[in-house]
Chain A
């Protein structure tokens, strides 16, 4: 009889490739919208020291602030950083797969 483990092997002989462009797009959307929402969340909540820690991202993202305008700046930088991270993950993954299959 065929066991479930054997059955799984029937479809597992093919190794998936990651489409780096698509991965970049997905990560860009997540990164940009994530930072945008986090910033807006703190701005709307308000308080004495609004987003003291999130504000530290301005060390990396020029012009970023925990303000309404800063949220849009964060949207841009988050998308850019996310896009680069996603693309690198896809590209490195594909490179390693290629090297291992050579």
Chain B
């Protein structure tokens, strides 16, 4: 049995350990902090629970939904979602609602937004290299400036023009037309419990005691399987020889250096730290590339307020530039169990910082004071209502996608390819802005790779089809096989969605349709004339001969029949060609309309994905 060492007890690391235990493999997880869950942990303070960042449980990956259910059972709540944007002393519903936005912006501003949107649609930026171009091409510059620019710059600390468009397109997958049609015609999202929900926008699943509950339970299951989770051990050195990791040294708060040997290493530690911990150090260019990777840090000021309800939202985006505050979480509205006393509310004030920013090192009292002042400034609470406060610092919460990160990451990845028993997973492990479900999926794949599978971990959160099709083809681990009744399927059900879309939106060949119309029209006129001629009589075809008004030289004679046949054929061809072309144009326009709708739906909650 191979022994695997996993650095980091966040969602990716713990999922890898959990999957390994299911596969009968042994693992040891080393965690630098004193709590499992990483960014998804629940912090506890005097009976209050805080979720670091707000984690809605929803995934398009069926495997992850099943894992959540498997680990946590029925302890999920279904919560209504309400979030708004605070901007210029107004609250705007988010996702935006036209009437609410109009009321907040005023008629003149709304008109300007409309004009700006029209301009973006008529004259878009041809090259979408940065975030500003990406968003303004979709929403118009003015809407981007009001609803996206300030907040994005607060979160990332760099101008939107310096943020790579890759990042936006990774968060909002660009749909091809056929994907959009499939999505519009066939796809429905499955929630954690398996039922179909139409959108994540209106409600979400959430563990009763916050996301940390999931990871505490997972850690318990991993330990119960005979694996070890070592807390408060910070990795300092990773020794490697001949393209293999040999051992890892981690230091405890008491200063003790512990050595861990491993046949396989799965790392979720930040790429920059990993490279600098390697012994011997990689070549200079690799170290330089790793050191150029940047991370955004994140600080939450939590205020305990003497009020049963402060606002109805789960969270509020603060776009107003006069405060540094980026977002406010109302933990009680995520789950009532997050507060010990129903007459109290706990608010999480989120500040996005660099660790060099002076606020990062401010003492707790000063930060709490800043939080109270910012809240009072936007009119949320009064100073006297706050009965307690604390702070939670989260280093390296967001890997930064600046314009050069891809080159640096490529250099690092190229070097690490030479270490055969090392796999990088998770958000910081891959320097990729993964959500919890993506991070978990990388953990599952890394574990299965150790058991002999060959998953490309770097494809997760890049190729949508990989998520949707990959797990579906897998054997579901740990499930007992249950016999199912054989059902005859209708032929349409046997066709793949791609084939159905292709069949439904296939083009008519205008030339072929013209030819068939022409053939039939010519033949009909010839037969109509010929039948009259054969039957004979005194006034043969008096009425039919009126067609000579339209067909030159036509008469109810054998010669006229041939002339009529030819001209009716030409007329029929023209009619068929026009019908075919118009039909194709109509179907194409309908398909593009469906795509636009699917894209608009996908970007409705863009802010949530920042």
Cα A41 to Cα B357 with chains together (Å): 87
Contact yes or no, B512 A11, CB < 8 A: no
Say yes or no: is A37 at the interface (Cβ < 8 Å to chain B): no
Contact yes or no, A96 B507, CB < 8 A: no
Say yes or no: is B215 at the interface (Cβ < 8 Å to chain A): no
Cα A96 to Cα B511 with chains together (Å): 8
Question: Scoring B residues 503 to 522 as 1 if CB is less than 8 Å from chain A, else 0, what string do you get?
Answer: 10111110111011101100
The residue of chain A having its C-beta at the shortest distance from the C-beta of B517 within the complex is A89
Which residues of B (504-557) have their CB < 8 Å from a CB of A? 505-509, 511-513, 515-517, 519-520, 523-524, 528, 531-532, 535, 543
The residue of chain A having its C-beta at the shortest distance from the C-beta of B524 within the complex is A85
Contact yes or no, A4 B592, CB < 8 A: yes
Using Cβ atoms and an 8 Å threshold, which residues of chain A touch B181? Answer: 11
Binding site of B, secondary structure by majority: helix, strand, loop or mixed?
A: helix
Q: Shortest CB–CB separation between residue A66 and chain B, in angstroms?
A: 15
Q: Which residues of B are in contact with A by a Cβ distance under 8 Å? A: 124-126, 128, 137, 176-178, 181, 501-503, 505-509, 511-513, 515-517, 519-520, 523-524, 528, 531-532, 535, 543, 584, 587-589, 591-592, 595
Contact yes or no, B595 A14, CB < 8 A: no
Contact yes or no, A96 B516, CB < 8 A: yes
Contact yes or no, B588 A12, CB < 8 A: yes
The residue of chain A having its C-beta at the shortest distance from the C-beta of B540 within the complex is A59
Question: Scoring A residues 1 to 28 as 1 if CB is less than 8 Å from chain B, else 0, what string do you get?
Answer: 1001001101111111000000000000
Q: Which of B137, B512, B531 is most buried by chain A, counting CB atoms within 10 A of its CB?
A: B512
Given contact pairs A4-B592, A11-B501, A97-B512, A88 touches B519 in the complex (Cβ within 8 A): yes
Contact yes or no, A15 B591, CB < 8 A: no
Contact yes or no, B509 A8, CB < 8 A: no
Q: Shortest CB–CB separation between residue A33 and chain B, in angstroms?
A: 19
Q: A14-B506, A89-B517 are in contact. List 12 more A-B contacts (CB 8 A).
A: A1-B124, A1-B128, A8-B589, A10-B177, A14-B507, A16-B503, A60-B528, A60-B531, A85-B520, A89-B516, A91-B516, A92-B512
For this complex, into which size category does the number of interface residues on chain A fall?
20 to 34
Given contact pairs A1-B128, A89-B516, A92-B520, A7 touches B507 in the complex (Cβ within 8 A): no
Cα A32 to Cα B177 with chains together (Å): 40
Say yes or no: is A51 at the interface (Cβ < 8 Å to chain B): no
Question: Scoring A residues 23 to 62 as 1 if CB is less than 8 Å from chain B, else 0, what string do you get?
Answer: 0000000000000000000000000000001001001100
Contact yes or no, A10 B506, CB < 8 A: no
Q: Shortest CB–CB separation between residue A96 and chain B, in angstroms?
A: 4
Could you pull out 28 A-B pairs where Cβ atoms are within 8 angstroms? A1-B124, A7-B177, A7-B591, A8-B588, A8-B589, A8-B592, A10-B178, A11-B506, A11-B587, A12-B506, A12-B584, A14-B507, A15-B508, A16-B503, A16-B506, A16-B508, A59-B532, A60-B531, A85-B524, A88-B516, A89-B520, A90-B516, A91-B516, A92-B516, A92-B519, A96-B512, A97-B512, A100-B509
Q: Shortest CB–CB separation between residue B341 and chain A, in angstroms?
A: 54
Cα A96 to Cα B576 with chains together (Å): 13
Using Cβ atoms and an 8 Å threshold, which residues of chain B touch A89? Answer: 516-517, 520
Using Cβ atoms and an 8 Å threshold, which residues of chain A touch B177? Answer: 7-8, 10-11
Cα A89 to Cα B126 with chains together (Å): 45
Contact yes or no, A1 B588, CB < 8 A: no
Contact yes or no, B515 A93, CB < 8 A: yes
Which residues of A (48-102) have their CB < 8 Å from a CB of B? 53, 56, 59-60, 85, 88-94, 96-97, 100
Using Cβ atoms and an 8 Å threshold, which residues of chain A touch B515? Answer: 92-93, 96
Q: Shortest CB–CB separation between residue B457 and chain A, in angstroms?
A: 30
